[in-house]
Structure formats: structure tokens, C-alpha cells
Structure 1
Amino acid sequence: MPRFEPYLPPLRVPVRRIGARTFDFSRRVAVMAVVNRTPDSFFDQGRTYAFDKAVDACFEAVSLGADWVDIGGAPFAPGDPIPVEEELERVVPVVRALREGSDVVISVDTFQSEVARRAIEAGATVINDTTGLSDPLLAPVVADSEATLVITHSLAAPRTVFPRPQYDDVVKDVARFLVERVDRALAAGIPEERIIIDPGHDLNKNTLHSLELTRRLPELAALGFPVLAAVSNKDFIGETLDAPRSERLEGSIAAAVVSIVNGARIIRMHDVRASVAATRMTEAILGLREPAYLKHNMGDVNE
């Protein structure tokens, strides 16, 4: 029987210092918790919109084992633009409060360069841009800091409709886009050890596209940058399982585990407790992590 060999992505820079924490992505998967300070977030519908609720959710995520917390003040979905000052008021105080009480990695989900700049000043260590550098000033802002940049594939202008997305080959097209945007970031002065890529499940993609991206994730991990898989509660899970948003946990965990096996090194999830457990179990099965302890059938008596 041949020995099982897990797929290990060929990372250019596996060891990353992100804020106060160090990750060896050749042997570790990070769990990113989601905290949306918006009244109309796609999953929780404003549950963490109030300032105190958002801060409490951040610290709860940390207590449950999240490696980092992703704070958003503007939804990706089509709609009216969120003014910069309003997004700042939603995001920056939460970043500041979390940073004062934790060394957790803090990312801010924004495409606006001024929001990124102010968030970094408040203590954010990652800028998570779901629009693939739509703001030409965002990469220079990150370059002038020590923050990491997440570059995500999406095609639409921010908060606009993109009907019936078509791809010749969704994985190859996404890879081509990400390589071009990485080159932009490098040219702006962001070193490769501060770049993460995200294929953008569901973002201007239908369910078949997102399933194929998950299945063929090794082709994107082969680019050499840590891959972030933001699969939690997405519509491709709901459509696959015929499940409303409130009943997508099992599908989300399955998608996250397959993503890890296929090379993802960060997973963005809503249910932190379940996601941390699934991630640590997957790491152990892949031979990347030792069990927390050994007792069963290890002595003369099976306890």
C-alpha cells in the first residue's frame, strides 16, 4: 500500500510574519473569522452592526481559536456606494478596540485606499480587497506599511451587477487575473511575502464555477502564494444542497476541508468553533499537526 502523500502547495514564502503572529503555511492553516459591521450583511443581516456587538463578536472569535478576524464595513453585493467616511466610522473603531485587547491578525475587508490607510493606522495588519485592486491607490497604501494584501478575483466594478458571468476556463481565467494583479502589487512595492490570493468563490461566478474552483484549487495554489478560500455560507453551497443561509454549516465545513486538502492555507468562516475543529482535524490527517494528546490504546489498559 503506497504511503499517502498530501498535496502541499509550492509556496514561495511559506513563513509569514503578519502583525505580531508568525504562520508557517507549509504546516499550518489559518482560520479567519468574519465580523461584518453592516446593517445588511449577506449572512447575519446586521447582527453585529452595533459597535458593541461587533467588538464582542471579534473577541468571541479570538476566544474560540480564530487566528485572525476580518472586519467589513461595506458589503460586496450590488447596491449604493458606502461613503468613505461612513465606512471609516464603521470599521476603524472596531479595529482599534480589538487591537487594544488582542494580538490577533486583523484584516479589513475594503477596496477603498483611504479606509485601508486609516485601518492600518488603527492596527489592522491585512487589507482584504475583494475587488482585485479596483482602487489604483490601494496597493501603494499597503506598500507604504507593513500590512499584507489579499488580492481577490472579481470582475464587476464595486457594488455593481455583473449578470451571467462567462469564462473560457474559470480556473485558468482566474489564475491569469490573479497573476496580473499580483504583478501590479509587486510593481507598487508590496513584496511577495506580503501577498495572499483568493479565487473569489461566488464573486461574479455561478455555482458551477465555484464548485470547479474548489475542485481544481491546486492549480491556483501552484502560483506559489497562500490561497484564501472564502467559502462560508456562500450561495454555491446553498444551491448545491438546496439549503437556506441558516442551514449551510455542514456544506461550508465540507467546502473548507476540501479547499484545505487542495492547498488553501487560510479559510474565511462564520462559525469559528466548528471551523477551527475541522481545520485542526484536517491538519492532523494530512500529517501537518500532532494530536493534542495520545491516550487511546497507548497503554496496557484501554481507557
Structure 2
Amino acid sequence: MGVVNVTPDSFSDGGRWIETEAAIAHGRELVAAGAAIIDVGGESTRPGAERPSAGEELRRVVPVVSALAEAGTVVSVDTMRAEVAAAALAAGAAIINDVSGGLSDPQMPALVAESAAPFVVMHWRGHAHDMQSRARYDDVVAEVCAEMLERVDVLLAAGAAREQLVLDPGIGFAKTAAHNWQLLSGLERVVDLGYPVLLGTSRKGFLGSVGRQEGAERPLDSRAVVTAVTSARAARAGVWCVRVHDVTATVDALDVATALGEVRGVGSA
């Protein structure tokens, strides 16, 4: 899954693809590099980010989704708003990727059930402005799994089908670096819940400090290799899909893992 942030303030590439035509062109580049899905989002979820209005999010997202879908690309829409998700589906999106797992907008579960579209249930404990204050766990893998399954129950009760649902442990969302590493180490426990799993580690802060002296971090554009290593780890655990900015490096890593016979069988979405 290749990332297209149609935002001025995303942590990794804010502003680079804010113009519609630039975002469409970038999506096409990611497909050419090997992405099977393009994830289009119009709201930054980096720590501390402020939310755009629904109207602004629609303005950013819908034309990009429409153009990519018309070209035959499988598109997911990265949104916490049912209104935006519905408009994106009408424009040709195939998947709803909601980082709140349906918690942010009470209308989302009903839309998921009505649309029958695949829906990503990410682990979430609050909006970007205060989520890191909620990064408290005794057993992060067990608690993340339990909280995702609580959201699954809500969605099923709203009429969604089990086959629609994809889980995402929410790397970096209300998690410290230590929590992120523990989740990566315990990915098999997430996969063994029996749902397809989406993993998003790409360029995140905990990867920036790998192998570096305290206080020094890799620049964002220099995190392709460390991201690709986590993608290979995900493949070995049986993760369905990885969400990345640098598609080429991850495709290479997955090709090597496949050649080594290390890719565990995964579910479909």
C-alpha cells in the first residue's frame, strides 16, 4: 500500500502532494514502483496535528481518488469521517482506512455495514493532539489486540461482515518507541486473531533512532531501508499488507523474503 498524503502538514512529506495533479502523479509513480493499493488521505494524524474541516478534507481527497480509480488503481481512503469515506467510495475508492477504527465518527459503523467495503480497524486511543498522553500499557500486545476486538464487536453489531474487517495495531498511535518494538516483536499474536492485518511503520519516529546516538535521528527520507526491514518482518509474521512511502525498497525486501521462503500464509481482504 503506497501512501499519498494530500496534506500540508503530514510528518513525512507534508505539502509535497497537496496539489491535486501532483498527488495523482505521485499515486501513479507508486503503482509503477509496485504498490498494489494507493492510500489517499487528506488529514494529517502526526502527533499534535490539527484537524481540517470536512469540506477541506473532501476537496483534497475526492479528485485524487477519482482520477486514480478511473485509471484502474485500487484505492483506499484514509479518513476518520463517514462523510468523506462515503464520498470517496462514490468516487471509486474500494477500501476505507480509518485510523480511529470507527471511534471518531459514530456514523462510520453504519456506513461500513451499508457499503460492504473492506474496512481497516486501527487501534486508536484519541486524536493527534493528545494521543501520546494515553500511551500506557501493562502488556501492549494483549491490550491492543483486546481493544481492536472490541471495535470488531461494535462493527459486527452494526451489521458489518467479518470478511470486511482488517486489523491494524496502530504503530506510533498512542505508543512509545518501546511499545512499537514490542508490537513488532509480537505481530504473530495480532495475525493469529484471524483477520487480515495492515501494518504501518513507514518513516515513523521510532525507526529514526535505530543505531543512532541519543539525540540523533535519521532524516525522514533516509528511513526506506529500516522501513523495508520491518516490512520483511511483517511478511514473516503473516501480515496481509504494509503501508509505506518508499514502495521500491519494501518491494525488494518482500521479494527477498519470498525467495527465502519466509513469507507466512496470509488472509485476504
SS at match of 1:127: strand
CA RMSD of aligned residues (A): 1.6
> Among residues 77, 82, 94, which one is paired with 1:113 in the alignment?
82
Tell me, in whole angstroms, the C-alpha distance in 2 between the residues paired with 1:48 and 1:123.
Answer: 20
Partners of 1:125 and 1:146 within 8 A in 2: no
Do 2:238 and 2:263's aligned partners in 1 also have CA atoms closer than 8 Å?
no
CA drift at 1:239: 2.4
What amino acid maps onto 1:44 in structure 2? D
Aligned residue type for 1:55: I
Match of 2:168 in 1: 198
Deviation, structure 1 residue 90: 0.3
Distance 1:96 1:108 in 2: 11
Identity of aligned residues (%): 39
Of the two, which has the highest radius of gyration? Answer: 1
- State the Cα distance separating 1:240 from its structure 2 match: 2.6
Change (3 A) 1:281 1:191: same
Q: Structure 1 stretches (4+) deviating beyond 4 angstroms?
A: none
Distance 1:85 1:70 in 2: 19
Tell whether the 8 Å contact from 1:65 to 1:273 is kept in structure 2 after alignment: yes
Normalised to the residue count of structure 2, the TM-score between the two structures is 0.91
Distance verdict in 2 for CA 1:125–1:159, change over 3 Å: farther
2:59 corresponding residue in structure 1: 89
Q: Secondary structure at the match of 1:269?
A: coil
Q: Give, as a single letter, the amino acid of the residue that structure 2 aligns with 1:244.
A: P
Q: Which residue of 1 aligns with 2:138?
A: 168
Shift of 1:276: 1.5
Q: Which residue of 1 aligns with 2:16?
A: 47
Determine whether 1:79 maps to 2:49. yes
> 1:233 aligned to 179, 194, 203, which one?
203
Q: Is the 8 Å Cα contact of residues 124 and 147 (structure 1) preserved in structure 2? A: no
Instruction: For 1:160 and 1:82, locate their aligned partners in 2 and report how far apart those are by CA, in whole Å.
Output: 16
**Does the alignment pair 1:185 with 2:160?**
no
C-alpha displacement at 1:43, in angstroms? 0.6
Residue 151 of structure 1: aligned partner: 121
| Unmatched segments (≥5 aa) in structure 2 | 213-217, 265-269
Q: How many pairs does the alignment contain?
A: 257
Of 14, 25, 28, the match for 1:56: 25
Higher mean alpha-carbon deviation, 239-248 vs 199-208, is at 239-248
Which structure exhibits the higher relative contact order, with contacts defined as CA atoms closer than 8 Å and separated by 6 or more residues?
Answer: 1
Secondary structure at 2:3's aligned position in 1? strand
Offset of residue 193 of structure 1: 1.1
Distance (Å, rounded) in 2 between the aligned partners of 1:219 and 1:203: 19
